[in-house]
Amino acid sequence: MFITSFGEQNITYSCCSNFLIHLFTLLPFIIHLSCISAMKKFLGKSIFKATGWTYNVNPAILENKQVIIGFEHTSNLDTILSLALFEILELKIHTLIKKELFKGPLKTILEKLGGSPVDRKASKDIVTQMVELFNQNDHFNLVIAPEATRAKDGEERKPIRTGFWHIAKAANIPIILMYANAKTRQGGILGKIYPTDLQQDLEKIKTLYAEYGIDVKIQ
């Protein structure tokens, strides 16, 4: 799975997540097209059941375009559960991946997985590049991990990166708040905000996540 932390565009590879992605990718070649959606939903729900997690989400909260963020990122299981939830919701997602990786056979794979190439050497900054993608598509769901690295239990968290807010603000779209609480084994979507003022919005995000037992570190 490619998880990009906006700011340094770090890409983390997870073997378990790769397996799940490949499984989703191969399904269209194994199952009749009319069954794909149902099978993906079934697979997503089965993953939650097999791991002993439950999810809580109101699909009506989603819009045609949004930036999706999530906390806490404590293990590779977070990635798998996120993918499972996206399949349950039939939500096609996009992630930021550096442009240099879009070459040869890998290009096709990354495009199928929703990868959006980011040119760090371009004259346009990343926020501008993402706004253009939002403007070019009627439906676009950009997933960003604000936490630069995965935090282990007991490890002090670093302040989150705020690139997601700048993209949402510039594109005039909402920020969807996903959560995964390893202690309660619950996850889902807890709400959304429309960006207005950076510091006020960060404080609001921190407060909303605190209601679900998750501490979001902000500056």
Per-residue pLDDT tens over the stretch 179-191: 999 889 999 999 9
Whether the pLDDT of residue 161 is over 90: the answer is no
Dist. CA 207–CA 107, nearest whole Å: 40
Bridge partners, residue 48, by sequence? none
**Contacting residues for 84 by C-beta, under 8 A, at least 6 apart:** 20, 43, 44, 45, 47, 48
Beta-sheet strands, E only, within 13-91 = 54-56, 65-71
Per-residue pLDDT tens over the stretch 137-151: 999 999 888 875 555
This prediction's pTM: 0.75
Contact 92, 114 (CB under 8 A): yes
For the residues 195-205, what does the mean pLDDT come to? 95
CB neighbourhood size of 151 (10 A) = 17
Dist. CA 101–CA 84, nearest whole Å: 25
Could you tell me how many residues make up the chain? 219
Tokens 């097999």, residue?
50
Crossing angle of the two packed helices 198-210 and 163-171, in degrees rounded to 10: 120
How high is the mean pLDDT of the chain? 78
Per-residue pLDDT tens over the stretch 45-73: 888 999 999 999 888 999 999 999 988 87
% of the chain beyond a pLDDT of 70: 65
CB neighbourhood size of 42 (10 A) = 13
- Distance, C-alpha 63 to centroid of its chain: 15
pLDDT at 193: 95
The pLDDT confidence band at residue 100, using thresholds 50, 70 and 90, is low
